[in-house]
Amino acid sequence: MSSPEPRDRNPRERPPDPAGTRPRHDPESLLPATRDPLVTDDVVDADVVDERSEERGDLLPARRRPGAPVEPVAPARHSRYSPRFHFLTGALVAVGVAALVGLVVFIALPGGGQDHGQRWSQWTPGSGGAAGAQQIAEHVGQEYRLPDGRQIVDVSVTGLEYQGVPLAVAVREAPAQGGNIRVFDDTGVMYHLCGLGPSCAIATGKPSTERHLLLRREALELALYTFRYLGDVRQVVVLMPPAVGKTPDQAVFFRQGDVARELDRPLTASLSPRVPSVGTVKVSPDTPLVDQITLPKTFSFSLTAANTDARGFIVLDSLVASDSPTPSGGSSSPSSSSSSSGSSSAATSTGKKAKQKSASSGGG
């Protein structure tokens, strides 16, 4: 029998992997070793980070075997000082909020917070300059009423000028006061009280000392608002309405220093929050102060042109009789001088004369 062909040889007798296709390692050796089915997997729960003893006060649970009940986690320990820290934190937050509110109020106040930490009045103008003066005129004018409920006068405002000609204020003293002429050329405004009758007279009602007192109170309130919120204004002239059939001839003149005390305290400390009527003005608690401030500052006025420059003068003459001293107790005024020898009874008598003369010659 012939020998088998090479292709019929026993594969075991062939040369070892002549083509290089035989694996170098036994594939079975790469399989994992057989594990004992009695040994359970050593598994650590995902929420367990560390294994610590309970004696050390650890908060994390220890490793447990599968199927074992979950052990409760000990609550976190809180310091006995925690309430104090919470209180301090709340206090700091409150202080921060208060500071922020204070800053907002400071910015919101007219003139960047000129109220120096307190609100001088409940109402404030929304702007300064001419717009602020117009807002003051409208606000104050609407507060003063006739007995029938209608507004007593319309209030308009201009600069210190007449038909475009700038005016300086010239106060002419009575001979008993020295007889001097004092000129004030500071920045100022002029309010016009117009009763909407002929020549701005009040068309209804009768002139009286009570109505004139109420108008002087209105003039004072206009001046106080102006000086407080319009920082560049140093003097205020208020033209009063005339009597029926006459032209305006009375004015109340204020300089900022005349009402310095009233500007340093809230408005309600000087003028009653409730505006009185013609019938109640004499019993209003602010009437003594109104008389004290406004009587020495009520003048008759006239207009004249200057000879040397393109301006004019509003000339103010005191309504107080030249042979009588100025009412004592009033604020200092450019038109008045203090009388050290005048008694309180003489001052009261002079004040009555001034009020009677004001009411009779003016539209009050």
Distance CA 238, CA 253 (A): 6
Same domain, 257 and 331: yes
Closest CA to 121 of 285, 273, 281, 289: 273
96 band by pLDDT with thresholds 50, 70 and 90: confident
Same domain, 243 and 314: yes
Q: Which range of residues forms the domain containing residue 107?
A: 84-111
Cα 254 vs. chain centroid, distance in angstroms? 25
Same domain, 93 and 224: no
Q: What is residue 141's predicted lDDT score, i.e. its pLDDT?
A: 97
Contact 334, 237 (CB under 8 A): no
Same domain, 315 and 215: yes
Q: How many domains does the chain have?
A: 2
Q: What is residue 335's predicted lDDT score, i.e. its pLDDT?
A: 36
Closest CA to 317 of 224, 200, 182: 182
Largest CA-CA distance found in the chain, in angstroms, rounded: 176
Same domain, 132 and 92: no
Neighbours of 124 (CB within 10 A): 19
Q: Is residue 44 part of a domain?
A: no
Q: Is residue 18 part of a domain?
A: no
Neighbours of 238 (CB within 10 A): 27
Q: What is the pLDDT of residues 128-152, one digit of tens each?
A: 999 999 999 999 999 999 988 999 9
Q: Is residue 52 part of a domain?
A: no
Same domain, 95 and 204: no
Q: Is residue 71 part of a domain?
A: no
Q: What is residue 176's predicted lDDT score, i.e. its pLDDT?
A: 85
Same domain, 281 and 158: yes
Same domain, 305 and 200: yes
3 band by pLDDT with thresholds 50, 70 and 90: low
Same domain, 206 and 264: yes
Buried b / exposed e over 291-312, threshold 16 CB at 10 Å, is bebbbbbbbbbeeeeeeeeeeb
Q: How far is CA 282 from CA 198, 211, 362, in A?
A: 28, 10, 18
Query: Does the pLDDT of residue 202 top 70, yes or no?
Result: yes
Same domain, 327 and 260: yes
Query: Does the pLDDT of residue 63 top 90, yes or no?
Result: no
pTM (two decimals): 0.62
Q: What is residue 334's predicted lDDT score, i.e. its pLDDT?
A: 35
Q: What is the pLDDT of residues 45-57, one digit of tens each?
A: 545 445 454 555 5
Average pLDDT over residues 63-72: 59
Q: What is residue 338's predicted lDDT score, i.e. its pLDDT?
A: 35
Residues forming a β-bridge with 312: 167, 305
The single-letter DSSP state of residue 74 is: P
Q: Is residue 40 part of a domain?
A: no
Average pLDDT over residues 283-295: 97
Q: Is residue 64 part of a domain?
A: no
Q: Is residue 315 part of a domain?
A: yes
Same domain, 289 and 170: yes
Q: Is residue 19 part of a domain?
A: no
The single-letter DSSP state of residue 27 is: G
Backbone angles phi, psi at 11, to 5 degrees: -60, -30
Q: What is the pLDDT of residues 12-62, one digit of tens each?
A: 666 666 666 666 656 666 666 655 555 455 544 545 445 454 555 555 555
Same domain, 147 and 293: yes
Q: Which two tokens stand for residue 245?
A: 């059939």
